[in-house]
Amino acid sequence: MNAVVLNGKHVAAELQQQLKHDVEKLKLQNITPGLAVLLIGDDPASHTYVRAKEKAAAEVGIYSVVFRMPETVTQQQVIDRIQQLNQDDSIHGILVQLPLPKHIDVRTVIDAIDPEKDVDGFHPVNIGNMQLGKDAFLPCTPFGVLHLLKQYNIDLQGKNTVIVGHSHIVGRPLATLLLNENATVSVCHAYTKNLKEMTRMADILIVAVGKKHLITADMVKPGAVVIDVGINREKNRIYGDCDFDEIQSVASYITPVPGGVGPMTISMLLYNTVAAARRQADRLVTV
């Protein structure tokens, strides 16, 4: 029996259709959600991601602007641009495309963003509120994974969930979101001993490492839900962290790469931007 494929492309398209209606309603109130993206340097993958974000934003009616900066830009110049955007009422969301050049400190740059415009969900205020289960902009990839699971009615409560990868972008915030859903969460990483032993225990296995086919069929519990966040480029092809073809015959649900988590990440960015526009508009009304 082959696993059900979790079609992130389809779920993302449905969400974006709803967002399009939401944007139309905001425009009736003379509010056009605005997204600013800072793209620094010449990383080809970053340029591809930003083009996809621009296209998706246009499709739902979000105004977007990309500030392309050279690799040689100073950290202070980046912060100055962010501070200008913090004061710009036409911009409701600010995204700094990662990775950044080595001479720029990621934390310092993210901290400069107004938390109300932090649609990537990485500012300490949003991270802290997420930890407390309070209202916050959630990091887009973990938020996308959660939304995808819910759209397929996959029950999380009490489920033994194993995350492979403990990055600040995916693994750690995803662990928090799953704990908030009452899942039982284990997080594995490069120093985990007996990885196979851990992954075989998972009712829900989520992998976000960036290593082609790290997870093979013998590492998956029969009937498990497998979420592959990995993106690995090799000879003009994209592979996940999981061996999809092998695991499909073992798992109950599985995400493809591409077409699984990737489209969800962009959709959640748009969702956060629309939410930020609505929230900032409400705040202006009440002042």
Positions annotated as catalytic residues are 53, 97, 120
Based on C-alpha coordinates, what's the Rg of the chain? 19
Q: Residue length, the chain?
A: 287
- In whole angstroms, what is the distance from residue 206 CA to residue 187 CA? 10
Q: Which residues are annotated as a binding site for NADP(+)?
A: 165-167, 231
- In whole angstroms, what is the distance from residue 88 CA to residue 71 CA? 25
- Residue 74 tokens read as 């100073």
Strand 225-228 and strand 204-207: the pairing is parallel
